Structure 1
């Protein structure tokens, strides 16, 4: 850790402590990547490269967990500058992967040091600016809440980090926690076409084969569904966050243009499709309006349609056997 953080004894499992556990792994992988000759040992280079690319989990935790807490304290710099740095590194990973697939060894040898240098510069900025300022700005309850959201994204570590705060044993005779009991049908709410309990609504959203995010009329994220296989990472830190901070800086202008036209009533739908991790992703935005046509926000829906596009003809029979 930097001298600033060395003087602060962070408990095990603290999000910043975990970032530094990951840093040790990253430093080791960077050294190994520079030492291996990609042309002579392509498989070894590929294995190290694949491990290093799991740094995406670190980027996602910062973007979706740490940065939103800093925004609430008025520090928006990391959400803009450092997120752009992340995207630059993502592009370097992509180009290197392309060169690996094409066995362009000269390009691999020339591009690898740039990737290593970029990651080192990023971690130096974390040491000197991001983490010390974050520790000064955020309270313990912020870190506890942040850690809960990190569970959904994951870490570069081989095992789940130590819980934070440490779990203390409570004897059953001293446990007075009120827990949710089995729901009753009397707790249902009436929707346009039927009745469902809160649990059933949550199960419905979790089972839907698509990512859904709801941004209200004030441009704040108020809901996302938590499916088992999301296309894009989301975590609890996004709730209450301004939508302009929920997208990479390079796409913020497009998102804000969509919101502007939806709010004016000139448009009600916008669609995009992109290639992401060798899958075709269909992204759609829909304006939400009440019965009087008042603007109530926007729904963003993302769906992996790679396999859907391959469908031809008809299928009328069950083929499980």
Structure 2
């Protein structure tokens, strides 16, 4: 591929000046596009994605200041104003409106070219990356992004990027070390009307990785294992499985057993949804988006129950058109939920800070993978966790006196950790203050500590939890219990109100216990040598 040249948009209504500047700029190795008025110029910024704009202030349809203000609502493309207005106030106004430089007419060709080079050089850097401004390149390992020649090389070899692929890599290089949202990249490359359909960006990123990461396991240069990207990758893997399952419903040679196998794999969608709710729902609540989230996951129960019914049947006699259509309808619901979750991802990227994402990353091992084989490795997150690893509280050996005796805190923590039961304590202000986790029935991320308990439950469950706590607080009930009827490992859950000696409500204790190991003794069956390991039920409803 030949070198890609910088593209400069000239916005000028005097034809003679347009011709003069075009000849000068073209002869210096740049590409040129031209607009005679402000409206056309704004359209061309979106369609041609120029690297720099040369702007005359006296346009026939709008003042150059108005053009600048409209442009700066969404774009940071460098702008050099070329104008006959020589008053200091005009220069100040233009620079304040977003211009990067100001040249008064008449001007020399060498001055114009020098200012173009300077503006392009400044545009290629951020505060965090001075290498680009100083050298015209950005390098990491054997990868070099050459901003002057518009090529990307790996070990000295041009990797052969297309124009749009180079623009994407160039943008990532300018913001190296930072997390960029899909919306930000699309807006920078395609303007404010790019929309939210990021499929074209995903395709281009896939092609870029194939060219640059070819022959290597994992990513060396494009780190996409930020916690949000991991959740997106899981959604993509889920949609791939949905597509495979859908193809079976259209294949006349497909068997019922094949479909059932795919549907059983899709049951991990339950843990996937629960994980996203657990990690991201608090952010939506804090920003007044909790009810919007309720709409996104409103159909989850229907999806789970339908999956449970359809995945259990391998009867070829029932593998008819009606069953195939029920599977298609189910897959359509899963696709819709995944598409809606993308709006949650975009919102959280804009509203969660680094500390919040670090908490999400820290909790991934507890919540596990759903449709990927391994958890993400986020180098920056690992480094920050390592720095804070030893900042936790050291439990003292001093005794704690209770009515029935004494414990040290270390002893008490060790005893609680041995109990074959999960305990979660919610204080009188309905905040999660403590939990143990032995059974794995309910996922308990560390980020739940100190959080309002309502933020730890999906919107559809909150009315039940709220009603129960109100009854406990009013003394109308002191406990609530339920069973999760898993076939080989039923689960008993008890919520117990806690009162002090004066009868004042001080909190609620949740107790979760699995009874699989006790079943043979309770039913008179001969105990098995080893009970099968139960699959964790991430939101406590069972299949």
Give the TM-score normalised by structure 1.
0.81
1:158 paired with 2:369, answer: no
Counterpart for residue 208 of structure 1: 419
Structure-2 separation of matches of 1:250 and 1:84: 7
Report if the CA contact (8 A) 1:78-1:130 is conserved: no
1:114 paired with 2:323, answer: no
Distance change (3 Å), C-alpha of 1:183 and 1:223: closer
1:73 to partner: Cα distance: 3.8
Structure-1 separation of matches of 2:455 and 2:237: 29
Structure-2 separation of matches of 1:258 and 1:26: 35
Counterpart for residue 136 of structure 1: 350
Counterpart for residue 232 of structure 1: 442
Q: Secondary structure at the match of 2:380?
A: coil
CA-to-partner distance for each residue in 1:46-90, whole Å, 9 max, x for gaps?
332233222233212212111123323443235533343333322
Counterpart for residue 265 of structure 2: 51
Report if the CA contact (8 A) 2:255-2:316 is conserved: no
User: Is the deviation greater in 108-117 or in 240-249?
Assistant: 240-249
Report if the CA contact (8 A) 2:303-2:330 is conserved: yes
1:144 to partner: Cα distance: 0.7
Distance change (3 Å), C-alpha of 1:189 and 1:108: farther
Q: Which has the higher relative contact order, 1 or 2, with Cα contacts under 8 A spaced 6 or more apart?
A: 1
Q: How does 1:74-89 map to 2 (within 5 A)?
A: 74-77=288-291, 79-89=293-303
1:20 paired with 2:232, answer: yes
Q: Secondary structure at the match of 2:334?
A: helix
Q: How does 1:161-240 map to 2 (within 5 A)?
A: 161-163=376-378, 165-168=380-383, 186-227=397-438, 229-240=439-450
Over the residues paired in the alignment, what is the CA RMSD in angstroms? 3.5
Structure-1 separation of matches of 2:316 and 2:516: 23
Q: From the CA coordinates, give the structure whose radius of gyration is larger.
A: 2
Structure-1 separation of matches of 2:301 and 2:486: 14
Distance change (3 Å), C-alpha of 1:117 and 1:43: same
Gaps of 5+ in 2: 1-179, 189-204, 206-221, 531-543
Structure-2 separation of matches of 1:5 and 1:277: 48
1:273 paired with 2:483, answer: yes
Distance change (3 Å), C-alpha of 1:6 and 1:124: farther
Q: Secondary structure at the match of 1:84?
A: coil
Give the TM-score normalised by structure 2.
0.50
Distance change (3 Å), C-alpha of 1:190 and 1:164: farther
Counterpart for residue 311 of structure 2: 97
Structure-2 separation of matches of 1:246 and 1:177: 25
1:146 paired with 2:360, answer: yes
Counterpart for residue 4 of structure 1: 183
Q: Secondary structure at the match of 1:36?
A: helix
Counterpart for residue 451 of structure 2: 241
Report if the CA contact (8 A) 2:424-2:509 is conserved: yes
Report if the CA contact (8 A) 2:278-2:457 is conserved: no
1:200 to partner: Cα distance: 3.6
Counterpart for residue 465 of structure 2: 255
Counterpart for residue 172 of structure 1: none
Structure-2 separation of matches of 1:6 and 1:90: 35
Counterpart for residue 241 of structure 2: 29
Report if the CA contact (8 A) 2:422-2:436 is conserved: yes
1:194 to partner: Cα distance: 3.7
1:248 to partner: Cα distance: 4.3
CA-to-partner distance for each residue in 1:22-42, whole Å, 9 max, x for gaps?
133122211211122598434
Distance change (3 Å), C-alpha of 1:71 and 1:311: same
Gaps of 5+ in 1: 170-174
Report if the CA contact (8 A) 1:210-1:230 is conserved: no
Counterpart for residue 279 of structure 2: 65
Q: Secondary structure at the match of 1:271?
A: strand
Structure-1 separation of matches of 2:355 and 2:472: 37
Q: Secondary structure at the match of 1:240?
A: coil
Q: Secondary structure at the match of 2:424?
A: strand
Structure-2 separation of matches of 1:257 and 1:204: 32
Report if the CA contact (8 A) 2:263-2:310 is conserved: no
1:188 to partner: Cα distance: 4.2
Report if the CA contact (8 A) 1:79-1:245 is conserved: no
Structure-2 separation of matches of 1:61 and 1:83: 12
